[in-house]
Amino acid sequence: MSSTVIPFGPQHPVLPEPLHIKLVMEDENIVDAIPAIGYVHRGLEKLTETKEFTQNVFVVERVCGICSVMHAMAYCQGIEELMNIEISDRAKFLRVIWAELHRMHSHLLWLGLLADAFGFESLFMQVWRDREKVMDIMEETAGARVVISANTIGGTRRDLSKEQMVKINVTIDEIKKDLQQVEAVFLNNYTVKHRLVGRGILSKADAIELCAVGPMARAAGIPMDLRTTGYSAYGQLDFEPVTHPDGDNYARTYVRLYEVYQSIDLIKQAIAKIPEGEHVVPVKGNPPKGEVISRVEQPRGEVLYYLRANGTKNLERLRLRTPTFANIPSLIKMLPGSQLSDVPLLILTIDPCISCTER
């Protein structure tokens, strides 16, 4: 049987990210997939070498807007370790609150895109209506809707008042109630299950071998979540990673949906336990010197920052590995054996962020 090569992307009506994949087809069946990345390369790692280490907080936030708080958190944690800065407990809890708001915002965005891919436009608008509530919170508490610049070296740029925390609690309760009303469509609807169950299977063994991270790994039954290491204030909060044993498109939908509930619970715990005190400490002493690795759990999985400083105001090297880059090998593993009609949803279920991947 002769094979046909079909280019998928970088511009495609059902692909919100500019990922390019050559699909080798036999009839409607995919027998091989060859990725090509680099379409939106921006050179941000090199840019960080030309800026002062304090300015780089704003650069790394623009690696990806949806994960901006986590990028800044990973970078600040690395610099703080190099400079022996101990931030306040209050700042640690504030970082967790804004990080989990970003996780909610990211997962709700993805659930809306999934609904849109099915053609469920009203469901798409319902989910994004709740996402707007999250973005309104971020605008009210930090002054922006996406790239909120809440983190700084030494803590956070802003504090939260008691009135704002009460409003956050009320709003996330509303979001939880709204999401529970549409949960059955994502998890029990016949059409949705027909398109998701048993499609794009990534086994637990393959997930381990290919180093899958985030919801990709947890949907394959691997309880791997960097938040369980206790960085920032996560060590003072109670939670267990959300997992699913099946490793298919449905499992990845389940994990992300229930991680929204988990984020709501973590925010409520953080607000209940947050101590009084300063939200930022003065940064004193010489510029950072040495090398460090800082890791944070983003909505898509583990982001890893490597920082090397030589005691000057400029970093010698900044290197980062984003979760989408780590998950692309798993995507290439899942595509062969699928049908062409499965491709848009299968790619969507890894929650690709090519802006992150190509930096």
Binding-site residues: 45, 64, 67, 320, 353, 356
* Nearest alpha-carbon partner for 337 in 28, 30, 22: 30
Rounded CA gap, 115 and 12, in Å?
17
State the binding site for Fe cation. Answer: 67, 356
> Tokens in use for 357?
């991947």
State the binding site for Mg(2+). Answer: 45, 320
Please state the three-class secondary structure of the chain as a single string: CCCEEEEECCCECCECCCCEEEEEEECCEEEEEEEECCCCCCCHHHHHHHCECCCHHHHHCCCCCCCHHHHHHHHHHHHHHHCCCCCCHHHHHHHHHHHHHHHHHHHHHHHHHHHHHHCCHHHHHHHHHHHHHHHHHHHHHHCCCCCCCCEECCEECCCCCHHHHHHHHHHHHHHHHHHHHHHHHHHHCHHHHHHHCCCCCCCHHHHHHCCCCCHHHHCCCCCCCHHHHCCCCHHHCCCCCCCCCCCCHHHHHHHHHHHHHHHHHHHHHHHHHCCCCCCECCCCCCCCEEEEEEEEEECCEEEEEEEEEECCCEEEEEEEECHHHHHHHHHHHHCCCCEHHHHHHHHHCCCCCHHHHHC
